[in-house]
């Protein structure tokens, strides 16, 4: 008998029939002798509607009241699933974030979990086999206000609950049957990855893969929670139908040179031309952006021949481009740059794999594959297990196909 946490996303609980399907899946795991806790998202489209309600009343709404509104979607789903399970003869009850409780900080709309008290949930699981149906995406702040974890936060809720319950595994049910080497909608030869390391999955998620939320992978890696990504719409439950396991590197016997290729169209490039090249220039540029809560990703600095000026290029999220330009233009007098150039028609493409640590030539293969297709590289950044490049957006799909073939990832 294992203790499992199952998480079902918005498409998995999109209507009453799908909620009943989820209940049948949970019953299969219970019938197999497992102790089960379930974390659910709001029904697909509900959270977007609730967000729109808030924005239609006030664009500068109170974040605490925003959380009170948008957290209600998960409350509905958890109650409906508990009813569906009871109808199948499974003891179950719904739990809201404040009832468990899941304690968060006071950063509303993007709160972070501080601790979870699973005493009562675990007791009921042990004594009566009751299934806990937990509303994802939410907790309660130290000041006793409902707080939400940000979009995709139900993944984080599930992994955190699995860690607190010492669960054997956290199964993330979604509309895909695992993590693929790249987006199968673009590359038809993409294949499912049986096992992937926490580090690789973290890079995949942060570089644009939409399967898991980045914070959930960070938490899984910190607490060594084994996570499985699989499809809600397969007939067999997760214990019988393997998706992709996200595990510690020690659990993977033979590591691929490159495990996957991720991409993000949510990028914009900014270049400051003719910035004075003197100590502290980077701090003066990025300080105001930090104050405005704008995240900067790839950074390249080119020094002029005379050594007196430099061009600074970096990327920000596409949604932050207008604010970035506004902040920098306002600080132009202090930064003393000649002109600002922005470009929203770019994409970031990344090759990822722990095998890079012990193999040379990974970046060169990437550059050659892109050059052979006539794709110009605008910016390059690297880490121990990742190489990312910025290319013109219209070359995104061509780049993915070229790199997928170059690294031998095409399905046989």
pLDDT per position as a tens digit, 132-185? 999 999 999 989 999 999 888 999 999 999 999 999 999 999 888 889 999 988
CA torsion 300→304→308→309, rounded to 10°?
Answer: -50
Dist. CA 242–CA 404, nearest whole Å: 24
Query: 331 Cβ partners below 8 Å, 6+ apart?
Result: 284, 288
Mean pLDDT of the chain: 91
Q: How far is CA 344 from CA 127, 157, 285, 320, 379, in A?
A: 57, 33, 20, 10, 14
CA angle 159, 140, 66 (to 5 degrees): 105
Binding residues for ATP: 7-10, 174-175, 180, 185, 210-211
Q: What is the pLDDT of residue 233?
A: 86
Average pLDDT score over residue span 240-265:
84
Confirm if 294 and 285 have CB atoms less than 8 A apart: no
Dist. CA 203–CA 388, nearest whole Å: 10
Kindly tell me the burial class for residue 79, based on how many C-beta atoms sit within 10 Å of its own C-beta (0-12, 13-18, 19 or more): middle
β partners of residue 308: none
Structure tokens, 282: 């980077």
Q: How far is CA 309 from CA 53, 284, 334, in A?
A: 49, 15, 15
Average pLDDT score over residue span 379-405:
93
| Residue ranges of the chain that CATH labels 3.30.2130.10 | 261-406
- Segments of 190-332 assigned E as strands: 195-197, 227-231, 244-247, 260-276, 296-303, 309-316
Q: What is the pLDDT of residue 359?
A: 78
Q: What is the pLDDT of residue 27?
A: 96
Q: Is the pLDDT at 207 greater than 80, yes or no? A: no
Q: Is the pLDDT at 229 greater than 60, yes or no? A: yes
Q: Which residue, 322, 319, 325, 318, is CA-closest to 344? A: 318
Q: What is the pLDDT of residue 333?
A: 81
Q: Is the pLDDT at 254 greater than 70, yes or no? A: no
Binding residues: 7-10, 47, 74, 174-175, 180, 185, 210-211
Instruction: Summarize pLDDT for 26-43 with one digit per residue, the tens.
Output: 999 999 999 999 999 999
Structure tokens, 327: 């902040």
CATH code of the region 3-250: 3.40.1160.10
**Residue 23 — pLDDT band, cuts 50, 70, 90?**
very high
Confirm if 214 and 199 have CB atoms less than 8 A apart: no
Q: Mind giving me the DSSP string for 35-56? A: EEEEEE-PPTTHHHHHHHHHHH
Q: Is the pLDDT at 307 greater than 70, yes or no? A: no
- Residue for token digits 């860690």? 163
Instruction: Summarize pLDDT for 116-142 with one digit per residue, the tens.
Output: 999 999 999 999 999 999 999 999 998
Three-state secondary structure call for residue 63: helix
Higher pLDDT, 46 or 235: 46
Q: Is the pLDDT at 240 greater than 90, yes or no? A: no
Q: Is the pLDDT at 295 greater than 80, yes or no? A: yes
Confirm if 324 and 312 have CB atoms less than 8 A apart: no
CA angle 36, 37, 39 (to 5 degrees): 140
Q: Is the pLDDT at 235 greater than 90, yes or no? A: no
Percent of the chain residues past pLDDT 90, beyond the cut: 65
Q: Is the pLDDT at 46 greater than 90, yes or no? A: yes
- Per-residue DSSP letter, 144: S
Q: Is the pLDDT at 190 greater than 80, yes or no? A: yes
Task: Label residues 49-74 b or e (16+ Cβ within 10 Å = b).
Answer: ebbeebeeeeeebebeebbbbbbbbb
Three-state secondary structure call for residue 155: helix
Q: What is the pLDDT of residue 177?
A: 87
Q: Is the pLDDT at 65 greater than 80, yes or no? A: yes
Binding residues for substrate: 47, 74
Dist. CA 258–CA 353, nearest whole Å: 4
CATH 3.30.2130.10 fits 261-406, yes or no: yes
Average pLDDT score over residue span 72-93:
97
Instruction: Summarize pLDDT for 318-376 with one digit per residue, the tens.
Output: 989 999 999 999 888 888 888 899 999 999 999 999 888 877 788 899 999 999 999 99
Q: Is the pLDDT at 412 greater than 60, yes or no? A: no
Q: What is the pLDDT of residue 357?
A: 80
Q: What is the pLDDT of residue 319?
A: 86
Dist. CA 119–CA 96, nearest whole Å: 15
| Residue ranges of the chain that CATH labels 3.40.1160.10 | 3-250
């Amino acid at each position: 008998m294992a203790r499992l946490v199952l998480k079902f996303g918005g498409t998995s609980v999109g209507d009453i029939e799908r909620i009943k399907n989820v209940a049948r899946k949970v019953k299969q795991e219970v019938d197999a002798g497992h102790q089960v806790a379930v974390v659910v998202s709001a029904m697909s489209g509900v959270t977007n509607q609730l967000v729109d309600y808030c924005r239609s009343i006030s664009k500068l709404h109170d974040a605490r009241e925003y959380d009170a509104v948008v957290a209600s979607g998960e409350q509905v789903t958890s109650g409906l699933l508990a009813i569906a399970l009871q109808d199948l003869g499974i003891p179950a009850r719904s739990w809201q974030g404040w009832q468990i409780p899941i304690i968060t900080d006071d950063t509303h709309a993007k709160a972070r979990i501080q601790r979870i008290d699973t005493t009562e949930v675990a007791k009921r699981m042990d004594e009566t086999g009751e299934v806990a149906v937990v509303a994802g995406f939410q907790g309660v702040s130290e000041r006793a206000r409902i707080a939400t974890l940000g979009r995709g936060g139900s993944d984080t809720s599930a992994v955190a609950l699995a860690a607190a319950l010492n669960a054997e595994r956290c199964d993330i049910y979604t509309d895909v049957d695992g993590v693929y080497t790249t987006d199968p909608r673009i590359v038809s030869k993409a294949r499912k990855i049986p096992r992937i390391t926490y580090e690789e999955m973290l890079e995949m998620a942060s570089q644009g893969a939409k399967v898991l939320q980045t914070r959930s992978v960070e938490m899984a890696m910190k607490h060594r929670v084994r996570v499985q990504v699989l499809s809600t719409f397969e007939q067999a439950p997760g214990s019988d139908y393997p998706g992709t396991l996200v595990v510690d590197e020690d659990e993977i016997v033979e590591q691929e040179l490159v495990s996957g290729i991720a991409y993000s169209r949510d990028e914009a490039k900014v270049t400051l031309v003719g910035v004075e090249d003197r100590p502290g220039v980077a701090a003066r540029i990025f300080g105001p952006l930090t104050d405005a809560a704008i995240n900067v990703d790839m950074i390249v600095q080119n020094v002029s021949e005379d050594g007196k000026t430099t061009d600074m290029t970096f990327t920000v999220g596409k949604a932050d481009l207008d604010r970035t330009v506004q902040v920098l233009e306002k600080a132009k007098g202090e930064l003393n740059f000649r002109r600002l150039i922005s470009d929203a028609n770019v994409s970031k493409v990344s090759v990822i794999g722990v095998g890079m640590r012990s193999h040379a030539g990974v970046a060169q293969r990437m550059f050659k594959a892109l050059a052979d297709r006539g794709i110009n590289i605008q910016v390059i950044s690297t880490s121990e297990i990742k190489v990312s490049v910025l290319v013109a957006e219209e070359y995104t799909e061509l780049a993915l196909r070229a790199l997928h073939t170059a690294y031998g990832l095409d399905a046989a």
